[in-house]
Amino acid sequence: MKFTLSWLKQHLETTATLDQIVEALTRIGLEVEGVENPGEKLAAFKIAKVLSAERHPQADKLQILSVDAGNGPLQVVCGAPNARAGLVGVFGAPGAYVPGLDVTLKLASIRGVESNGMMCSTRELELGEDHDGIIELPEDAPIGTAYPDYAGLTDPVIDVAITPNRQDCMGVRGIARDLAAAGLGTFTPLVIPTSATPSVIPADAGTQGAAGADGERDPRRRGNDGATAGSGPDIATLDPEGCPAFYAQTVTGVTNGESPEWMRRSLIAIGQKPISALVDITNYLMIDLGRPLHVYDRAKLSGGLVARKAKPGEQVVALNGKTYTLDDTMTVIADDTAVHDIGGIMGGEHSGVSADTTDVLIECAYFDPDHIARTGQKLTLTSDARSRFERGVDPAFLDDGLAIATALVLHICGGSASEVTRSGEPPLEPRVIDYDPRLSADLGGLHVAPERQARTLLSLGFTIGAIKSADAFSDALFSTIEGKWPVTIPTWRRDVDGPADLVEEVVRIEGIDSIPSTPLPRMPGVAKPTATPEQKLERRARRAAAARGLDEAITWSFLSDAEAAPFGGGAWTLANPISEDLKVMRPSLLPGLLAATGRNIKRGAQSVRLFEIGRRYLAEAERATLGVVLAGDRRPRGWRDGKAASFDAYDAKAEALALLAASGAPVDNLQVMGEAGDAWHPGQSGTLRLGPKTVLASFGMLHPSVLKAFDLDGAVAAVEVYLDAIPPKRATGFARPAYTPPALQAVRRDFAFLVPTALATDTLVRAVKVADKVAIVSARVFDVFTGAGVEDGHKSVAVEIVLQPTAKSFTDEEIKAIADKVVATAAKQGASLRV
Amino acid sequence: MTEDLNQMRDHMLTAIAAASGLDALDACRVEALGKQGTITLLLKTLGKMTPEERLVQGPQIQGLREAVANGIAERKATLERAALDARLASETLDMTLPADATPAGTIHPVSQVMDELAEIFADLGFAVATGPEIETDWHNFTALNIPETHPARAMHDTFYLQQGIDAKAAGTADEKTTFSLLRTHTSPVQIRTMLSQKPPIRIIAPGRTYRSDSDATHTPMFHQVEGLVIDKGITLGHLKWTLETFVKAFFERDDIVLRLRPSYFPFTEPSVEIDVGYTLVKGKRVVGGAEPDGWLEILGSGMVHRKVIEACGLDPDEWQGFAFGCGIDRLAMLKYGMDDLRPFFDGDIRWLKHYGFSSLDVPTLSGGVGA
């Protein structure tokens, strides 16, 4: 919400400086986002008089002017058709920056004639759209004066972020009220025109700058005289839910020309484009008082106007030129033949006012905030009116708002006004909160004397029992209020609905920054770990992965359909994705990591080791997962080992087991099984399972067709660890089981077995490990060989077995007996001892 | 006789000293102390001597034997040392050649900062809570006092899920159980915590959040941390102290000034926006400094709204507290000096190695939470 300082001062009598005002606004919750002084960038432009004008000898459309900008005649070449001797305009000397052209003026030679600057148009100075000629100022404008000073462009523009609760501050007047309550000045009473004068015209509008000469702008010259030209317009609300109150008035015989300069300038200053007097008046009042209005060209309406529910499928072309299809939840304003307004959101194009408008119907209605919000959301149509109505405009300000608007129309556009027609009633039931002033300390943490609290609330428009205004405050009256205060909420504060809101009002005006810090008491008892087992597991897995040389990435939770497809497809689809690339929730962490891997390789990375810990979004749940992608060189070429080595499936297996171990999984009990899925190399991948069903990890090489989809060349190894499938460790206290290292030395024995190639080595090793459950403590493959000396279809597997004696050393006979058991057990798996 | 023995000793020791290798030295030994060696033979003569002669000759011959044996041992040690030195000299390598590098991995700054937050808040008695990222309308909005028609809903740039829209169309949608959107903030974790836990509650909830927004300073996915305290007698003063303590601990500076501004969030009342003061150091904004050059918005907070407490089945006349929310990515940027948010989610290993953290940089209070 933008407004100028002088605009604010229409509602706030203050001696505060701009800096004080800006500081106070932010302090009381109206955050200032920026302050701009439009005159600053035009400070170099001066008022100048054209002394003489002659034809340029080399160009028909150019003239050579002699210009006095206060320091004697300067030669200036000018192409404006209105340039002529005697004209007083705006001059920029070399060195001045022309914002509308984005150039800095230089001494130039134009078709052989030296030019010492430029006479400017409004568009060149970004003060308007006019580019038909240079600016013409009144003849008595002071030559040599800086133009912004003369034109009143030194009025700072303040941009304030209004939080959604403060509809009342979507008008300059509401902001002024808050500032007055904060002690920044006196809130100016609003004069409601009856048959006198429109009150909202700036008091100094008649004396401001260039406008000064025009007596037409003197607000005291015209009022609502001749007020009632007939009865009010034929209007009604048939939709008391969507439009509880519909007030309107007609003004006939208007001239809809340009709005007066003071109004145009105020609108331009805050970035609004002046359109025509009638439209500008509604825009001005919306900014000024936060009261949206709508004006219809009476001649374009057929019969009376009603507020009603739209018919399903009914269409309207709105003022933004777009066609909207409506449904029966939406409130519209319509005549006998067509919809003319999406009620409270945007008017229709057909009945909008134009230069030809002579009779205008002014609508001042109260639309239900929830209805407006729903309609706006459905139509995805935003407007200044919607943002005010959906936050709730002041329901008590219909008559006054309409009176002010009508007065302004009469004043600016002439004509005579009808009586007011009122249909329906705005919701005006008084809302009262029982407020305990101790709450400012008990909830807000700030002790504020009750009387001070009362004065703050009163100055914001609340009333407390019999005290109806700040002026009415007296100790005697105040002393009559005991216990909880009956605080009545002002009609313009729809956001306030509980005691906590009143605490906020008190505390923010008092200065929320002055709340003293109060230490949070320590929780009693022994400090407990505040992370859950799952969180600790994730932390360990993360630190372990980084310790193993992997870089942690964070990739998007959403992917394209194509990326998700090989990993089972996304179970969740965004209805409104930012792009097709970020459309479905990831079923796996690998596609995101593969895409990142691809980007790294394209940037020249030789080796990529990425991991991520995050969630997979499956249909039934979000699952904590760790993903690893290994691509490029596992080992770079080097002087010791020669050629570079690339990653293989066993690297993936090593990562899987290490990360599972770090995560507390019982890795010794895991079984390697197949069925990693379609995304994997069918012969070089597997799963690690705890029992046949609980899959803790998938690992291996990825399928070439998947890699191709990610534009990756070469082999890529990957791991996915399903962190939430890892069984939690049972809490057994801190003490470990008793342990004494064995006194006797272990014995190692090697066995070489001949087995069918298809036999999984692990099957053989697991089998022989349990051949003697007491003596054998480990069994480990240390060689696998095929080729010379090994018959076709077979492989040689060498296994080292460790035997641990307990009470006394093994005898030769005992060792032989164990070895025989090992061989016999291996034979059951199809293995024969190689001799 | 003594003369002879002295001469013999000198002769033998000279030969030993001259022995150039272990073989030559062994020859000396055999010549002197071998079975037929000169000294061995001399010793044998002792038996034929008279006791008187033996008393004189014995010690002299024994002394000769000892001297020669010692000489041989010393010479042997010298020769062996020389041989070892020569072998080692021959084994010399170019120690400037590179050793195999062990790849060093990194922790992402967002994870690091989350661990830092957990550490700081653990000290204040806050546990870490989590919740789903795919949420229901009720948890993300309604329970947080953001009804369907609330303007704040539109400001949230919510990502909606097709599944939720389909359920609505089919009439099977339930506001509380139909997962229909990606959470726009971590605040639904407040709701889930209050529903599942009895007060007093102190939690932080870090995690991924989503809004349909993408430009230089916004990404459609980002990280937030939520804080919630529900207890008896909690006021804005406690909120202020907690956030001051947190921000000071996080940036590890005592000279941090916070500015509290009234603001608006539907789920808190009163609502407070927190700015942190920065000072300009070589043109860069650095958080801290007793006399700030300006303010950075870092936190939204407030006293939990009665309606939110009620929605979670608690009695707002008995329990009250505060909540806050803060962007983790932004905290990381402010502390560790990244200028741009977008590379956070690109997985560029050059960026990760530059801005990432060692696995050993585990934030601890004793070691300082920053790394």
Could you say which residues from 274 to 313 on chain B have a Cβ atom under 8 Å away from some Cβ of chain A? 303, 305-306
Q: Give the three-class secondary structure for A17.
A: coil
Q: Is the pLDDT of residue B151 over 80?
A: no
Distance CA(A15)–CA(A477), nearest Å, equals 31
Helix or strand holding residue A779 (H, E): strand A776-785
DSSP state of B370: -
Q: What is the mean pLDDT of chain B?
A: 91
Q: Is the pLDDT of residue B65 over 80?
A: yes
Distances (CA, A) of A152 to A146, A207, A508, A588, A811: 10, 10, 34, 63, 112
Which residues, 6+ apart, have CB-to-CB distance to A760 below 8 Å? A672
Q: Least CB-CB distance to B269: which of A504, A518, A548?
A: A504
Residue A697 forms beta bridges with which residues?
A688, A721
Which residue did the predictor score with more confidence, A374 or B155?
Answer: A374
Over residues B330-353, the pLDDT tens digits come to 999 999 999 899 999 999 999 999
Cis link prior to A189 (omega < 30° from 0)? no
Cis link prior to B200 (omega < 30° from 0)? yes
Mean pLDDT score, A41-48: 89
Two structure tokens written together for A184: 């920044």
Distance, CA of B354 to chain centre:
15
Mean pLDDT score, A191-218: 47
pLDDT of residue A194: 66
Q: Do A530 and B121 touch (CB under 8 A)?
A: yes
Mean pLDDT score, A650-655: 96
Select from A344, A391, A457 the least CA-distant residue to A166. Answer: A391
Which residue carries 């219909």 as its tokens? A398
Residue B361 near chain A (CB below 8 Å): no
Using CA of residue A804, residue A805, residue A809, residue A812, what is the dihedral sign? negative
Q: Do B306 and A508 touch (CB under 8 A)?
A: no
pLDDT of residue A208: 39
pLDDT of residue A162: 93
Q: Is the pLDDT of residue A349 over 60?
A: yes
pLDDT of residue A191: 83
Distance, CA of A61 to chain centre:
51
The lowest-confidence range among A105-109, A566-570, B201-205 is A105-109
Q: Do B149 and A390 touch (CB under 8 A)?
A: yes
Mean pLDDT score, B95-123: 93
Phi, psi of A52 (to 5 degrees): -150, 160
Q: Is the pLDDT of residue A196 over 80?
A: no
Helix or strand holding residue B167 (H, E): helix B162-170
- Under 8 Å between Cβ of A520 and B238: yes
Amino acid of residue A533: P
The lowest-confidence range among A15-24, A66-75, A439-448, B300-309 is A66-75
Distances (CA, A) of A802 to A132, A748, A784: 101, 5, 19
Which range has highest mean pLDDT (A369-373, A731-735, B29-33)? Answer: A369-373
Could you say which residues from 210 to 239 on chain B have a Cβ atom under 8 Å away from some Cβ of chain A? 210, 212, 214, 220-221, 229, 233, 235-239
Over residues A474-483, the pLDDT tens digits come to 888 888 888 8
Two structure tokens written together for A329: 């939840």
Could you say which residues from 582 to 611 on chain A have a Cβ atom under 8 Å away from some Cβ of chain B? 582, 585, 592-593, 595-597, 599-600, 603, 605, 607-611
Q: Least CB-CB distance to A512: which of B152, B266, B272?
A: B272
Q: Do A507 and B236 touch (CB under 8 A)?
A: yes
Reported in sequence order, the residue ranges of B266-361 that DSSP labels E, i.e. its strands, are 268-281, 284-287, 294-304, 320-327
Over residues A686-721, the pLDDT tens digits come to 999 998 889 999 999 999 999 999 999 889 999 999
Mean pLDDT score, A544-567: 96
Which residues, 6+ apart, have CB-to-CB distance to B117 below 8 Å? B204, B206, B225, B250, B328, B331
- Supply the pTM of this predicted model: 0.85
pLDDT of residue A788: 85
Residue A734 near chain B (CB below 8 Å): no
Mean pLDDT score, A385-407: 94
pLDDT category at A48 given cuts 50, 70, 90 is very high
Q: Using a CB-CB distance cutoff of 8 angstroms, which residues of chain A are in contact with residue B357?
A: 546
The lowest-confidence range among A322-326, A469-473, A821-825, B290-294 is A469-473
pLDDT category at A228 given cuts 50, 70, 90 is low
Mean pLDDT score, B289-298: 93
pLDDT of residue A522: 84
The lowest-confidence range among A226-240, A561-575, A715-729, B73-87 is A226-240
Q: Give the three-class secondary structure for A351.
A: coil
Mean pLDDT score, A182-194: 88
DSSP state of A638: B
Reported in sequence order, the residue ranges of A425-564 that DSSP labels E, i.e. its strands, are 432-435, 463-464, 485-488, 551-552, 558-559
Q: Do B134 and A507 touch (CB under 8 A)?
A: no
Which residue carries 């050579």 as its tokens? A64
Mean pLDDT score, A457-478: 91
Distance CA(B236)–CA(A520), nearest Å, equals 11
Mean pLDDT score, A542-560: 97
Q: Give the three-class secondary structure for B215.
A: strand
Residue A236 near chain B (CB below 8 Å): no
pLDDT of residue A231: 85
Q: Is the pLDDT of residue A753 over 60?
A: yes
pLDDT of residue A212: 35
CA distance B115 to chain A (A): 8
Q: Give the three-class secondary structure for A675.
A: coil
Mean pLDDT score, B70-91: 92
pLDDT category at A206 given cuts 50, 70, 90 is very low
Mean pLDDT score, A614-618: 96
Over residues B37-48, the pLDDT tens digits come to 888 888 888 888
Which residues, 6+ apart, have CB-to-CB distance to B27 below 8 Å? B19
Two structure tokens written together for A579: 């792009």
Residue A74 forms beta bridges with which residues?
A67
Mean pLDDT score, A305-326: 93
pLDDT of residue A222: 36
Over residues A111-133, the pLDDT tens digits come to 888 899 999 988 888 877 777 88
Mean pLDDT score, A133-151: 86
Q: Using a CB-CB distance cutoff of 8 angstroms, which residues of chain B are in contact with residue A391?
A: 151
Two structure tokens written together for A459: 């100055």
**Residue A703, Cβ density class (10 Å: 0-12 exposed, 13-18 middle, ≥19 buried):** buried
**Residue B110, Cβ density class (10 Å: 0-12 exposed, 13-18 middle, ≥19 buried):** buried
Helix or strand holding residue A283 (H, E): helix A277-289
Q: What is the mean pLDDT of chain A?
A: 90
Distance, CA of A740 to chain centre:
63
Q: Using a CB-CB distance cutoff of 8 angstroms, which residues of chain A are in contact with residue B259?
A: 513
pLDDT of residue B1: 56
Q: Do A574 and B160 touch (CB under 8 A)?
A: yes
Using CA of residue A554, residue A560, residue A561, residue A567, what is the dihedral sign? negative
Q: Do A552 and B356 touch (CB under 8 A)?
A: yes
Q: Is the pLDDT of residue A197 over 60?
A: no
Reported in sequence order, the residue ranges of A576-707 that DSSP labels E, i.e. its strands, are 584-585, 607-617, 622-635, 645-646, 671-673, 680-690, 694-702
Distance CA(A105)–CA(A91), nearest Å, equals 11
pLDDT of residue B155: 66
Q: What is the DSSP string of A201-216?
A: S-TTGGGSGGGGG-GG
Q: Rounded to the nearest 5 degrees, what angle is found at the Cα of A499, between the Cα atoms of A496 and A501? A: 40
Q: Rounded to the nearest 5 degrees, what angle is found at the Cα of A253, between the Cα atoms of A249 and A258? A: 95
Distance CA(A53)–CA(A502), nearest Å, equals 68
Distance CA(A687)–CA(A700), nearest Å, equals 9
pLDDT of residue A201: 52
Q: Is the pLDDT of residue B190 over 90?
A: yes
Q: Is the pLDDT of residue A517 over 60?
A: yes
First to last CA, chain A: 92
Over residues A240-266, the pLDDT tens digits come to 999 999 999 999 999 999 899 889 888
pLDDT of residue B213: 85
Which residues, 6+ apart, have CB-to-CB distance to B3 below 8 Å? none
Half-sphere CA count of A311, side-chain side, radius 13 A: 6
Two structure tokens written together for A777: 């403590």
Q: Is the pLDDT of residue A778 over 70?
A: yes
